[in-house]
Chain A
Amino acid sequence: MAASKPSADASSNIPDYEYAEVNTKPFHIGSFRNEWLKRLKPGDFSFQLEDEETFDANFARELRVDAETMAEIKSICSLDSLRCHPEDQQPDTNVVPDDPTLKTLIQRKKRQDYRATLKTPKNRHDLFTDELERAAIGKNPETVTNMIAEGELLLTVNVYYPPVVEKFQYVRPHMTLLMTGSHSLAELRDAICCVSDLQVCGEFSNTPDIAPDFISKDHFKSAFFFFEGIFYNDMRYPECQDISMTTIEWAKTHNFPTFSQAKMEDTRFADLKVKVGFPYLYCHQGDCEHLVIITDIRLMHTSDCLDKRLYPLLTHKHRVLTKKCAVCHVYIGRWFTTNDQFAPSNPCLFCDKCFRLLHYDAQGKKLGDFLAYPYVDRGAFN
């Protein structure tokens, strides 16, 4: 099942840098988890919060502290001892206080004053980021069966868009997904939204209603991930092919280190041996290639989303501007036509509604001469 085996040497499962602050050396994810669990008490990673009395009692017992000393420590270390404003005045935490002395605040004040001169409302991007933030935080399921187990791993996975345009080297648009250590690579695959899966190839001016039946995703199901010398192929459906074979054979004849294969549906993240921060590959639709970087692995925390059903959890998605319909300028383009006598340009982009109103009569009969191709906007997933 698992293609990579945990290393017997414990220290090799303690992640360390290969290149400082860039990426780690390879380590086995499941064994990394075990190393943490070995060092911690179950209470340390439990989702239950310990109440104050239990904590005090334990502390006093463990350190053999009498009640008087305990009360003293508690008062010294209380939150009150850190309060920087009079007790009866609640400051407005959304503004920088006057006459700050901290360097951070001096600069923030300058920026705040500058912003005030602009009088711009909160921009849409900010709002959207806030929205995703809220979606990601602290969701608990009603039933225990949907609850994530304590000590489970949480992985942050970035999937990048195909780097075709030069500008990609500076901006790196991607989506960010949260996965658990028990998820299979097939589950990651299903969570990746890429427009190439939605492409429909062909001309449908005579039969626009059947176009959705020809979505690429349903026709070309093969795909693979590549991590540390192993191709993980999607073999869930009879139509699936091992599309990594070509590369493996090529590598053999070109004096490369040998690669091996495994099934993505049989491989959990906990079974993988990877480098954190290192770019790997996801390939689907034959040649649509995405870089995949596992940017973080850690133990699940009580404030994380603990509802199994909400994973894989999307926490970031690059927004692209959509191309709008040439007629209404409101809706996203769904069709483009060529040799079209009704169109202002050749080719021309239409939303579904305008396309049908303009090119078909009430009975759905094609009017005039034109060719129509389904169009999938890059912003379709926004």
Chain B
Amino acid sequence: MDTPQKLVKTDCEEILHRFQQQESVRFEIFSKIWREMKFSEIFYGLPAQHEKRKFSRLILDTACSYLLPPYSFQIRVGGLYLLYSLYRCQTFSPPEQIRVALKDWEYVEKFEKDALEAKHLDVVYILHQLMCFKAFHFTAMPTLLTFQKKRQKEKPRLCEGFIERASRPQELINIELLEELSNIHDIYGKLKTSASLMSEDAPTPVNLTHKDLIPKLRSTVVDFYTWQQKRIESDEEDYSGEGTSSQQESSKRAEKLAAIKSRAFGQATEAAKSRRHRQVEVDLTSNQAGPSNSSGHTRLSKPSLKVRTNENLHISSDLWKEATATTKISRLTALDFVPEEKPKKNYRKSNKKVKTAKEST
């Protein structure tokens, strides 16, 4: 059976996925999907107050992650709308708050700035509404921490489809820039030749330009793009399991993502135009490895606290025995262990317990 965490994540990703498909950042579109999915009902069917709070806590914490990087601007807008809608649809008062950690606040501020610049009034309005409702808890960390090291805890999975692909190289090195660059290159070259022609006895001029700068630049960007497309493809294969038809789809999807973003930001440049160079034929053998950051998360595994403590502490066996032996007071203050879940059973046993306790004293 799936954990509540997993189910909640699935539901959140479903609504964001539908929102993503609409290629919009409008609240109107989001609320339509919300109603279609009857998402308000997610709070229903929890009669006990503490269950309600626990569930609100869980779903707000889950939804909050979509407001932050590395997700794309559109998904983050969806995340904000989801948080707002969840916050307002809680069925008890006062509602649970949205926890935002100090380290994440700068991303929220930057997000607001981007939305403001692009004049997404509904995004800014919703964010300001949340502030006005005092919907945030300004915290140290995203969740409460109890030094709980879960056995083989599943690593929080990032939803790949929501992550923004780097598109800056393509956007910067577009066809206009290449043309412009090539023009300047030509003019400069001509100027130089004419200068050296004028004074024949002058020494050979210093060669300051790369002859094939423009083709090189172009092929580098194309290499990067090809590599990126391949990664999307392989991700897609992992995801859907159908390899053959995904190639076209994935490049279509990448185009879509980029288009949404440029539309979302109200940029004047047309996506298709600026990406003309993508249609250039690609030498597939070149530079398959791609940029070097592909290794993903490598974490140094440190030994556990217990191991480190044992390494640091060299206690002779006698001392250790002494330290672990319980004194009278500590035995008196120790709780005896009765699991709370089964009060009935234990109640019947309690007389026997008195006896054993007496014997030990």
Contacts and interface: CB of A to CB of B under 8 A. Distances in A.
Contacts of B359: 347
A233 B329 CA distance: 21
A320 B147 contact: no
B201 interface: no
A184 interface: no
A100 B88 CA distance: 21
B11 interface: yes
B358 A349 contact: yes
Contact of B339 (A171, A196, A287): A171
B361 to A, nearest CB: 6
B11 A104 contact: yes
A133 B56 CA distance: 14
A101 interface: yes
A103 interface: yes
Given A102-B42, A107-B1, A77 B354 contact: no
Interface in A292-315: 293, 295-299, 301-303
Contact of A297 (B133, B139, B147): B139
Contacts of A357: none
A40 interface: yes
B138 A320 contact: no
A106 B138 CA distance: 33
Contacts of B318: none
B102 A77 contact: no
Contact of A15 (B4, B38, B103, B148): B103
Interface string A1-34: 0000000000000111100011110010000100
Contacts of B180: none
Interface stretch (A141-149, A154-162, A204-212): A154-162
Given A196-B332, A349-B358, A95 B89 contact: no
Interface string B327-361: 10111111111111001001100110111011101
Given A84-B39, A102-B38, A138 B94 contact: yes
Nearest to B40: A84
Given A107-B1, A124-B343, A125-B340, A45 B147 contact: no
B41 interface: yes
Q: SS class of chain B's interface: helix, strand, loop or mixed?
A: helix
Nearest to A102: B11
A82 B15 CA distance: 13
A141 B134 CA distance: 20
B146 interface: yes
Contacts of B8: 104
A187 interface: no
A286 B101 CA distance: 39
A101 B38 contact: yes
Contact of A126 (B48, B91, B122, B138): B48
A83 interface: yes
A73 to B, nearest CB: 5
Nearest to B101: A15
Given A93-B43, A336-B361, A21 B145 contact: yes
B259 to A, nearest CB: 24
B38 A84 contact: yes
Contacts of A323: 350, 353-354, 357
Contacts, number: 274
B347 A321 contact: yes
Given A63-B121, A323-B350, A91 B44 contact: yes
Contacts of A326: 354
Interface string B92-107: 0010010101110100
B338 A320 contact: yes
B334 A162 contact: yes
Contact of A129 (B11, B28, B50, B329): B50
B138 A45 contact: yes
Contacts of A288: 329-330, 333
A285 B103 contact: no
A206 to B, nearest CB: 20
Contacts of B73: none
Contacts of A281: none
Interface string A41-70: 000110001100001000100010100010
Nearest to A106: B7
Given A32-B102, A293-B147, A303 B329 contact: no
B10 interface: yes
A348 B358 contact: yes
Interface string A77-120: 10101111100000111111100111111011100100000000
Contact of A14 (B91, B102, B353): B102
Interface stretch (A258-266, A271-279, A360-368): A271-279
B45 interface: yes
Contacts of B218: none
A195 B332 contact: yes
Max count, chain A CB within 10 A of own CB: residue among B129, B132, B149: B132
Given A102-B42, A299-B138, 9 more contacts: A15-B102, A27-B140, A95-B44, A125-B343, A196-B333, A288-B329, A297-B139, A301-B137, A329-B351
20 contacts: A36-B105, A50-B132, A63-B121, A83-B40, A97-B38, A102-B37, A102-B38, A104-B7, A108-B46, A161-B334, A171-B337, A195-B332, A196-B330, A286-B329, A288-B330, A295-B145, A336-B361, A345-B355, A347-B361, A376-B332
Interface of B: 1-2, 4, 7-8, 10-11, 14, 27-28, 31, 34-35, 37-50, 53, 85, 88-89, 91, 94, 97, 99, 101-103, 105, 109, 116, 121-122, 124-126, 128-129, 131-134, 136-141, 143-149, 153, 326-327, 329-340, 343, 346-347, 350-351, 353-355, 357-359, 361
Interface of A: 14-17, 21-24, 27, 32, 35-36, 39-40, 44-45, 49-50, 55, 59, 63, 65, 69, 73, 76-77, 79, 81-85, 91-97, 100-105, 107-109, 112, 122-126, 129-130, 133-134, 137-138, 156, 158, 161-162, 164-165, 167-168, 171, 173, 194-196, 199, 276-279, 285-289, 293, 295-299, 301-303, 318-321, 323-324, 326, 329, 333, 336, 345-349, 376, 378
